Amino acid sequence: MDFQSCVNIKKEWDIVGARQLGRDIARKIGFGTVDQARIATAISELARNIYLYAGTGKVCFEALEEIDHKGIAIVAIDNGPGIQEISQVMEDGFSTSGGLGAGLPGVKRLMDEFNIHSEEGKGTEIRVVKWLR
Amino acid sequence: MNKKIKNVVLDHSDAIVKMWLEEFDSNKENDYTATISDEMFESTNREFVNVIFSSIENQGLSTDLDDFSERLINLGWPLSYLTDGMQVFRRVITDYILKQSDKVDTDYFSEILREVDGWVDPIINRLINEYSGSWEHIVSLQRVALQELSAPLIPVMENITIMPLIGTIDTERAKLIMENLLDGVIKHNAEVVLIDITGVPVVDTMVAHHIIQAAEAVRLIGSRCILVGIRPEIAQTIVNLGIDLGKFPTKSSLRKGFETALELTNRRIEETQNNDEDIEKLIDSLDGE
């Protein structure tokens, strides 16, 4: 896969860096302020999950261009412990860290497409897409 | 042998300095000299090369070097000026020694290289350390300054306090917000606290979670919390995320929140009578006569 740009997540402040880059790309593609906020929030959730559960990983951005519509794809990749039960983390209110448990189901609602692939002990890859309307 | 090389260098220091200055001067198109006058550039070059020679002569790093680098840091010269200068010096001095020698074989060549590295590298390391040390110092000072700004609490009037939040909220700052909020509520005897998030760029579940916790803690010590400054796009993302902020009142702007806070403390804003109008009427009536 050819990514436009990636941000490595190692420190908490890298989340801010990923968010800003993602917001810039979204603005260039032509997203409005509401969708920019949605995209930035989704990136924030994905990057924070990497920071909290995997320690390190990366968030990559890709500008999508098809004949009839444009969009942005965000891919969060880590080599962390993986997710045991994916259906469980997609439930509202489930959290292993005492948080609100709205992260992943929230991201799914913020974006148009949501794909998660996780293998225990190997890592997690989440790809989300927002289309420009 | 090493002594010999050193003596060659020291005896011909004038020639080497000249070569260095010429070579370095041709580098001058580099950006870092754009804002520096020619005179300044030349005198700094001269001083730089003297510092280099004095540290070679004394077989170690001199205090001159520290003074010199400190002054350049204060004047804001870029580090690349010094590293470029040292690289040019390494090139010039190696060339010069090789030219002065009659026989050049691989052993001799590598010995010269090692000797020159032994002079040049400690100076480069010292200069880089000085520079990065000064940057680290600045960063740590700024961090302290930022922390002081990160969770201010303003007692606007009796029983009403405002905490304006601007910028990103991370875990460390969230802790500080909680502490300052609770301390401030007790200290100012606040009945209502307004948390203003107009300046918070992204409200994700972590930020929301911390705000909910802070509001809950404020409730436990007997005060009320109003969340204000929720921009429309933030409201939409909060709804999408499915975060429940229903436990405490929220308002779109600080102004509306402040009005609510006044209501909660049994007060309201009342406009005073406009005296200007009366005076104007009086003047008008005088004109009529």
Given an 8 Å threshold on Cβ–Cβ distance, is B201 in contact with A40? yes
> Under an 8 Å CB criterion, which residues of B touch A?
168, 170-171, 201-206, 208-209, 212, 232-234, 236-237, 240-243
- Report yes or no: A39 and A22 within 8 Å, Cβ to Cβ: yes
Query: How far is Cα B4 from Cα A131, in angstroms, rounded to an integer?
Result: 73
Query: How far is Cα B18 from Cα B34, in angstroms, rounded to an integer?
Result: 23
Given an 8 Å threshold on Cβ–Cβ distance, is A12 in contact with B241? no
In the prediction, which pLDDT does A1 show? Answer: 45
Task: Count Cα atoms within 13 angstroms, Cβ side, for B241.
Answer: 31
- The answer, yes or no, to whether residue B3 has pLDDT greater than 80, is no
- Residue B82 or residue B37, greater confidence: B82
Q: Which of A129, A116, A111, A123 is nearest to A58 (CA)?
A: A123
Chain B nearest-CA residue for A110? B240
Q: Does A105 touch chain B (CB under 8 A)?
A: yes
Contacts across the A-B interface (CB distance below 8 Å): 67
Domain B2-147: CATH superfamily is: Globins (1.10.490.10)
Given an 8 Å threshold on Cβ–Cβ distance, is B202 in contact with A37? yes
Query: How far is Cα B212 from Cα B218, in angstroms, rounded to an integer?
Result: 10
Chain B nearest-CA residue for A107? B241
Q: Which of B162, B170, B246 is nearest to B210 (CA)?
A: B170
Query: How far is Cα A102 from Cα B206, in angstroms, rounded to an integer?
Result: 9
Q: Which of B2, B4, B8, B1 is nearest to B93 (CA)?
A: B8
Q: What is the CATH number of the domain that holds A117?
A: 3.30.565.10
* Tokens coding A19: 């968010």
**Topology, domain B154-264:** Transcription Regulator spoIIAA (3.30.750)
Closest CA of chain B from A12, distance in Å: 7
Q: Of B92-101, B225-234, B279-288, where does mean pLDDT reach its minimum?
A: B279-288
- The answer, yes or no, to whether residue A94 has pLDDT greater than 80, is yes
Q: What are phi and psi of A66, to 5 degrees?
A: -120, 175
Given an 8 Å threshold on Cβ–Cβ distance, is A12 in contact with B240? no
Instruction: Express each pLDDT in A100-123 by its tens digit.
Output: 777 888 999 999 999 999 888 889
- Contacts (Cβ under 8 Å, ≥6 apart) of A47: A7, A9, A14, A15, A18, A19, A59, A76
Residues of the domain holding A15: 5-131
Q: Which of A12, A36, A100 sits opposite B243 (nearest CB)?
A: A100
Among B240, B244, B245, B247, most A C-beta atoms within 10 A, so best to mutate, is B240
Question: Helices A12-29 and A33-49, interaxial angle, to 10°?
Answer: 150
Instruction: Express each pLDDT in B127-148 by its tens digit.
Output: 899 889 989 999 999 988 888 8
Instruction: Express each pLDDT in B225-275 by its tens digit.
Output: 999 999 999 999 999 888 888 888 999 999 999 999 999 999 888 888 777
Given an 8 Å threshold on Cβ–Cβ distance, is B205 in contact with A102? yes
Given an 8 Å threshold on Cβ–Cβ distance, is B242 in contact with A105? yes
Instruction: Express each pLDDT in B173-194 by its tens digit.
Output: 898 999 999 999 999 989 999 9
- Contacts (Cβ under 8 Å, ≥6 apart) of B152: B163, B164, B180
Q: What is the ipTM of this complex?
A: 0.83
All CATH 3.30.750.24 domain ranges of chain B, comma separated, are 154-264
Closest CA of chain B from A38, distance in Å: 6
- Tell me which chain B residues have a C-beta less than 8 angstroms from the C-beta of A109: 240-242
- Tell me which chain A residues have a C-beta less than 8 angstroms from the C-beta of B167: none
Q: What value does the mean pLDDT take over residues B2-28?
A: 76
- Report yes or no: A120 and A82 within 8 Å, Cβ to Cβ: yes
All CATH 1.10.490.10 domain ranges of chain B, comma separated, are 2-147
- The side-by-side arrangement of strands in the sheet containing B224-228 is B154-157, B160-166, B192-199, B224-228
Query: How far is Cα B195 from Cα B225, in angstroms, rounded to an integer?
Result: 7
Among A27, A100, A112, A114, most B C-beta atoms within 10 A, so best to mutate, is A100
If you count them, how many residues does chain A have? 133
Regarding beta strands B154-157 and B160-166, do their DSSP bridges make them parallel or antiparallel, or are they unpaired?
A: antiparallel
- The answer, yes or no, to whether residue A2 has pLDDT greater than 60, is no
